[in-house]
Structure 1
Amino acid sequence: MNLYAIVLLVIVLTLLTVSLARLGKVKTKADYLVAGRSLPAFVLIFTLLSSWIGSGSLLGGAENAYKHGFAALWQGGGGWAGLLLIYFIAPRARKFAQFTIPDLLEARYNQTARLLGVIAILFTYTAVVSYQFVGGGDILHLIFPTVITADLGKYIIAAFVIVFTAIAGMASVAYMDVAIGLLATFTMLIALPILAHHAGGWSAIRTALPASHFQVLGDFSFVQALELFLPTCLLLLGNQSMYQKFFSAKSEKDATRAVVGWIIGTVILETVIVAIAVVGSVLFPTGEVHERPREILAYVGLHGFNGSAALQLLGALLMGAIFAKIISTANNWLFSPATNLVNDIYIRYISPEASNKKILAISRLMVVLLGVWALYQSQHIDSVLKKSLYAYTIYSAALTPVILAAFFWKRVTAAAAVTSIAAGTVITIFWDTPFIHHNVPAVVSDRDAIFPALIASVLSLAIVSLFTTPPTPSQLKPFSEA
């Protein structure tokens, strides 16, 4: 068994051990969905970091950096801007302390907003999980090229993620993320200067690449840069997985402290990811990875550390860290929509008096069903970057405006929220269809859906609010106190 296989095996066994160790502590709905509201700031930092940085950054962002250089940081930069605003939202979210975003939507708006919110979340989160399966399958294929095809790898990863996520819920996911976050952070920080040295140093790297790779916009137009920036910024501001972790915090202070650590960790890791991909484009400008640039980080881990045993171990650890981050992101984004189906549909409308034992069983069943749906979507992905921007845009346009308005605009109404969610969801889902391309001018229809979907959503929210009855004091009370 080669070194890479050994590292992956150790990671898999460690993740299973952590999950099984938490299993006996999961006895109630709150234990499963929000870890009994017991997570300290240190654990929150790494579970937030691990859930945010997955295949979207490790594959889609790295592919962008391989092709366009440091201008790819526009995608990560959207998240950084969102994080700065989240610092002020985190304590409010923890004080509100529900289970899901649709809980918030019904409390502030109405049941229709809750149901539409569930639909938008299901489309977004299963899309995100689907390209984690693609990323994990790519890594297994790179390590075992004669045994595991990329397609077979997707099935293996999907099976592992579904089983792992179903076992112990939020607690197992959060504590596993601590180990993964530490491994990824330190491995990438050590790997970058070594790879840069192998490429001849930064002066040689700058000479080998176009000047645009080191410019703020690179070869993007400002509009193209915004199409990368806005979806990630707005997704982060309304991200249910994030709010669910705030709901899991021990206190408002822990939630606020976690955001500070999350900001620092995200800026460092996403910058290092882009830098490794840029260096990788110098080390491996042709060949297999040139045709599949989304694999550049894993390819560097496999082929960029030839030499001493210590270097080979570092390459294996880098590969293992990427693999673990993908698994972690898939777990987080699969677990979150399962809680919606259980908390917002099953408990809310079908069986309000269900026992904890029955709720846990239904929760695990939902994880399995959503995992299968995500696996089906993974069979139809040509570009991880494109799929990630599609997923981000649904959430950014449909949910982020109404979530932020719930905390910061007292005049927003239930009718406006329903209209806004519906407009953002429908426009995003149907934007890239023949009907739009045949009936909308190419100068508009060829652009990403973020602009038309977000504009429609925000205008609906504002205009309908101004022409409908304001919310009652009872609707505003939980949010004015938050």
Structure 2
Amino acid sequence: MVYLVTIMLYLGILIAMGVVKSRKIKTQSDFAVAGRSLSPWVLVGTMLATWVGTGSILGNAGKAYEIGLAGLLLPLGGVCGVAVLTQIADKVRGIEKFTVPEIIGDRYGQTARVLSVIALVAAYMVIVSYQYNAGGAVLHTVLTDDAGQSMLSLEVCTLIAVTVIILYTMLAGLVSVAYTDVANGVIMTLSFMIALPILWHTAGGWSGMEEAFAATGRESHMQIWGVYSTFDFINFMLPPFLLAMGDANMYQRFSAATSSKGAKTATMFLVVAVIFIEGAIISSAWISSSMIENAENGRHVLIYASHRYLPTFLGAIMLTTMVGIIISTADSFLLVPSTTLMRDVYLQYINPDADDRKIVLLSRLLVLALGIVAYVVSLGFAQSATFFDKALYAYTIYGAAITPSLVAAFFWKRATGAGAVASITAGTVVTLLWKEAGFVQDLVPAAIYQNCDAVLPAIFTSMLCLVGVSLATAKPERQTEA
């Protein structure tokens, strides 16, 4: 009951905060980029809470249950991507755009802009969908007793998560999300700092874990090297690296900074924060996995460990923080496509002269519509794959399609509109067809096809098209200026 009361209290506070903040939303700038008023420290908190979402606390943690200590290598791709962002953040703030497709459209033209909208919305709907599933999984675990009986079904718990996420995002946009993220980031950091030594002691330290893993035939869980193949490294590291470099959530937050300098400063601190939190998450999952033999419980290892192995109050705080991070990440990935469709479709092609009141209203309705679409997607993903696999798939769609052209917009003057169009199209098509179209398997050597996920062929084809077509076409007449 303590767990449920704590989480429900937190959700109530979230909604109340959203209602209060919603009264201050007057323009699209307020709703989409918080009026460009976020300080560096608020930016660090909101970017951290956005990046460390379900992909970390359920995806990477669940993978750590499967592979053990080697899971500490999983965040390297994302960390490297965030490190690259330190060289982009001030440039993004300097051009004062709202969305990634705006940046791409300004640099490459309207065709590239529209294609990037399609790729962004498709990828982000997948990401939001598994945030829904994760929120439902946490609530369902909290409501499950020692006999394995839950007060509510997983489907109902997921619907509750969906409702809270959509409502909270509709109310105040980035304003409410950003400041809640700061609180979530602080609580998350403190919670893991306290929980790690408790879990370590409960597991019996290094020797206790060695014995537990040996007893269940998982001796390799104590090894950090020799677990991954070369293809494993590529399949696991490349998607989050590409997403981090081009994530529209990060770019939207750069645009919300008070200054270019503040955006860059926040991103530099973010690198350190991500290393610490991701390491703490995976270490906690690895330690907890030595005490969990049931693979189904291991799929939600941190949720299960917080519920079973931590003191009640700390476990309640941990679970509440997980709910907060899931909601925050889902809000962010729901807000970005709604802002994108408003800026890059409605205001560009349908009603360029819409007033601020109408824009804010339609932005909220778009959040509702996209939230429902993501829920439909979540129904198909509910049991079809692990959170880790879902995350890699969504990251690949976005990273292969958009990131090469987006990064080139800032660093390669020779990139052309035709090259960007070819790159976005190729990245999207290869990602969608790699494992789904039968003819691909007939064309690719079996050893490569069986071991290589879509990310390597997709990013290779995307970059090849960007460079090859750009060099084969006329130099662009204008460039994006930082």
- How far off is 1:128 after superposition? 0.6
Residue identity matched to 1:187: S
Indicate if the aligned counterparts of 1:398 and 1:422 stay in contact, CA closer than 8 A: yes
Identity of counterpart residues, as a percentage?
Answer: 40
Within 5 Å, give how 1:55-94 maps onto structure 2.
55-94=54-93
Alignment-mate amino acid for residue 359 of structure 1: I
**Where does structure 1 lack aligned partners over 5 or more consecutive residues?**
306-310
Secondary structure of the structure 1 residue equivalent to 2:300? helix
Please say if 1:270 is aligned against 2:273.
no
Instruction: Pick the aligned partner of 1:396 from 399, 403, 417.
Output: 399
Aligned to 2:16: 17
CA distance in 2, matches of 1:202, 1:269: 21
Which residue in the other structure is 2:466 paired with? Answer: 461
| Structure 1 residue 434, shift from structure 2 partner | 4.0
Deviates more, 1:432-441 or 1:242-251: 432-441
Once residues 89 and 256 of structure 2 are traced to their aligned partners in structure 1, the CA distance between those partners, rounded to angstroms, is 11
Specify the alignment match of 2:161 in structure 1. Answer: 157
> Do the aligned partners of 2:3 and 2:316 also contact (CA within 8 Å) in 1?
yes
Query: 1:284 aligns to what SS in structure 2?
Result: coil
**How many angstroms does 1:429 deviate by?**
1.4
Per-residue Cα deviation, 1:262-306 (whole angstroms, up to 9, x for no partner): 1111111111111111111112223xxx2242211010111112x
Checking the alignment, whether the CA contact within 8 Å between 1:48 and 1:245 is kept in structure 2 is yes
Which string of whole-angstrom CA distances, capped at 9 and with x for unpartnered residues, describes residues 224-259 of structure 1? 122111100110000001000000000011101111
- The amino acid that maps onto 2:270 is W
Once residues 69 and 122 of structure 2 are traced to their aligned partners in structure 1, the CA distance between those partners, rounded to angstroms, is 30
TM-score by length of 1: 0.95
Cα RMSD between the aligned structures? 1.3
Partner AA of 1:234 in structure 2? L
Stretches of structure 2 lacking an aligned partner (at least 5 in a row): 145-149
One-letter identity of the residue aligned with 2:277 = L
Deviation of the 1:348 alpha carbon: 0.7
1:195 Cα deviation after fit? 0.7
CA drift at 1:211? 5.1
1:59 & 1:218 partners in 2: Cα distance? 24
Question: Counterpart of 2:243?
Answer: 235
Residues 116, 422 of structure 1: 8 Å contact kept: yes
Distance 1:348 1:50 in 2: 31
Instruction: Tell whether the 8 Å contact from 1:68 to 1:218 is kept in structure 2 after alignment.
Output: no
1:365 CA displacement = 0.9
Residues of 1 paired with 2:434 and 2:461: CA distance?
13
The change in CA–CA distance for 1:218 and 1:4 in structure 2 (over 3 A counts) is: farther
In structure 2, distance between residues paired with 1:130 and 1:107: 30
* Matches for 1:42-191 after TM superposition, within 5 Å: 42-145=41-144, 146-191=150-195
* SS of residue in 2 equivalent to 1:48: helix
Moved more, 364-373 or 73-82: 73-82
* Contact 2:99–2:252, Cα closer than 8 Å, also in 1: yes
Q: What's the TM-score once normalised by structure 2's chain length?
A: 0.95
1:246 aligns with 2:245: no
Map residues 301-450 of structure 1 onto 2, 5 A cutoff.
301-305=306-310, 311-381=311-381, 382=384, 383-435=386-438, 436-446=440-450, 447-450=452-455
Matched AA of 2:466:
L
Could you tell me whether the CA contact under 8 Å between 1:217 and 1:225 is conserved in 2? no
- Provide the C-alpha distance between the structure 2 equivalents of 1:416 and 1:377, rounded to a whole number of angstroms: 31
Q: Matched residue pairs, number?
A: 468
Task: Please say which of residues 247-256 and 11-20 is displaced more in the overlay.
Answer: 11-20
CA contact (8 A) 1:420 1:456 kept: yes
